Amino acid sequence: MFSKIELSTHQNAELVDITSQVQKKVSQSEISDGICVVFVPHTTAGVTINENADPDVVQDILMMLDKKIPTNDPGYRHSEGNSAAHIKASLIGSSVSVIVENGKLQLGTWQGIYFCEFDGPRKREIWIKFL
Amino acid sequence: MFSKIELSTHQNAELVDITSQVQKKVSQSEISDGICVVFVPHTTAGVTINENADPDVVQDILMMLDKKIPTNDPGYRHSEGNSAAHIKASLIGSSVSVIVENGKLQLGTWQGIYFCEFDGPRKREIWIKFL
Amino acid sequence: MFSKIELSTHQNAELVDITSQVQKKVSQSEISDGICVVFVPHTTAGVTINENADPDVVQDILMMLDKKIPTNDPGYRHSEGNSAAHIKASLIGSSVSVIVENGKLQLGTWQGIYFCEFDGPRKREIWIKFL
């Protein structure tokens, strides 16, 4: 079985720190050692690990992604207007793998797990599997 | 043991939907619950998860990657002329991890698994491991 | 338990081939078949798989990343001056998963595992878990 986290995003583009929610699911499971796979079942969102201290870092990530992968481009063919969100999703990736030891996610001092919304606001899900 | 899928690509750059081929390998294995790791053993190709409905989405991904990581750049030193393909491979990544439940790949409604050819056409392999 | 590799980088940006060090940890473990997860516990570094033959390839990756994600941008808010390194870390990713068979990492002929330093030189760690 796998766990699900439900999430509502509030911005068009937003990085949401989900570390404590993922840790809660790890704590609820019976597995103390292994790997936790965090998977995003959406095609205009992703998941990444980055700095948990200064919120300016995630703003800078969103700003630069937006500058490099513009919302509007004459070459886009997809008619929904969210091609940039699909491209960002593939660049960032749909899953992260984190080591679990004694029931605790093993992350570096400055690392947090972030859900990456690129086409919100929306209701989203995050799927979590322990191995 | 791990499974292999053999694939011939037909374009220089192409995203090939391999979801049903990966599902077939999952069905042939004896594992019903776990994680399926899809790994690409090439350095000018990758694997990603993105929209399986409108084929314009994968065209937009290829178009924008090509625009941002140009085939020719005065700074490239690698003499084979495919530096852009190597760079795209590292940006997209060499593997994806997908949850398996009751012998079925667990993907979002709009998600498909795509082999990403960046330096074809070529014969390629995809390696699959179940955990 | 998981293994750790300690590493000192010598450049501000550098791709360090860690394949043989990861293989050594695989050989020291008792697991012969499975997956090896290589995880970087830093937010200005990453890990990728790319060509192990011509060193110009990794130089081209670093050059193009630097060109596309500039060190200085008027939009950056993070005061430490290393926003570009954080962005590159999320684009490249914090982990890779490699199949292990008979105690050997299964990589394509031209593939090597690279630690990606984007804000060095520094002392760094790489964490390795076998499943």
Please answer whether residues C53 and B80 qualify as being in contact, where contact means their C-beta atoms are separated by less than 8 angstroms: no
Q: Given an 8 Å threshold on Cβ–Cβ distance, is B89 in contact with C50?
A: yes
Please answer whether residues B106 and B99 qualify as being in contact, where contact means their C-beta atoms are separated by less than 8 angstroms: yes
Dihedral sign for Cα atoms in the order A122, A123, A129, B1: negative
CA A41, CA B113: separation in Å to the nearest integer? 12
Mutate to test the interface with C, among A31, A32, A35 (most CBs of C within 10 A): A35
Given pLDDT bands bounded at 50, 70 and 90, which one contains residue C54? very high
- Determine the structural domain holding residue B30 and report its residue range: 3-130
Least Cα distance to B41 among C52, C71, C30, A6 occurs for C52
Nearest CA in chain B to A35: B35
Collapsed DSSP state (helix, strand, coil) of residue C87: helix
Token pair, residue C71, equals 């060190």
Q: Which residues pair with A5 in a beta bridge?
A: A126
Answer yes or no: is pLDDT of A119 > 90.
yes
Q: Given an 8 Å threshold on Cβ–Cβ distance, is B57 in contact with A43?
A: yes
CA distance C9 to chain B (A): 20
CA distance B2 to chain C (A): 8
Mean pLDDT, range B66-84, rounded to an integer: 95
Token pair, residue A107, equals 């992350």
Nearest CA in chain C to B37: C97
pLDDT at A60: 97
B96, amino acid identity: V
Please answer whether residues C67 and B76 qualify as being in contact, where contact means their C-beta atoms are separated by less than 8 angstroms: no
List of chains touching B (3+ CB pairs within 8 A): A, C
pLDDT one-digit tens code per residue, C89-131: 999 999 999 999 999 999 999 999 999 999 999 999 999 999 9
Q: What is the mean pLDDT of chain B?
A: 96
Least Cα distance to A93 among B125, B130, C46, B14 occurs for C46
Structural domains in chain A (count): 1
Answer yes or no: is pLDDT of A4 > 90.
yes
| Chain A residues within 8 A of C43 when measuring between CB atoms | 49-51, 57, 108, 110-111
pLDDT one-digit tens code per residue, A52-80: 999 999 999 999 999 999 999 999 999 89
Collapsed DSSP state (helix, strand, coil) of residue C7: strand
Report the residue from A54, A99, A101 with minimal CB separation from C78.
A54
pLDDT at C40: 98
pLDDT at A31: 81
| Chain A residues within 8 A of B35 when measuring between CB atoms | 37, 129, 131
Nearest CA in chain A to C40: A108
pTM: 0.97
Q: Given an 8 Å threshold on Cβ–Cβ distance, is B95 in contact with C91?
A: no
Mutate to test the interface with C, among A64, A67, A105, A114 (most CBs of C within 10 A): A64
**DSSP assignment letter at A2:** -
Least Cα distance to C26 among C113, C94, C124 occurs for C113
CATH no. for residue A61?
2.60.120.460
Report the residue from A68, A111, A131 with minimal CB separation from C43.
A111
Mutate to test the interface with A, among C29, C76, C94 (most CBs of A within 10 A): C94
Report the residue from B65, B68, B97 with minimal CB separation from A95.
B97
pLDDT one-digit tens code per residue, A5-57: 999 999 999 999 999 999 999 999 988 899 999 999 999 999 999 999 999 99
Least Cα distance to C8 among C87, C120, C102, C110 occurs for C120
Q: Is B123 exposed, middle or buried (0-12, 13-18, 19+ CB in 10 A)?
A: exposed
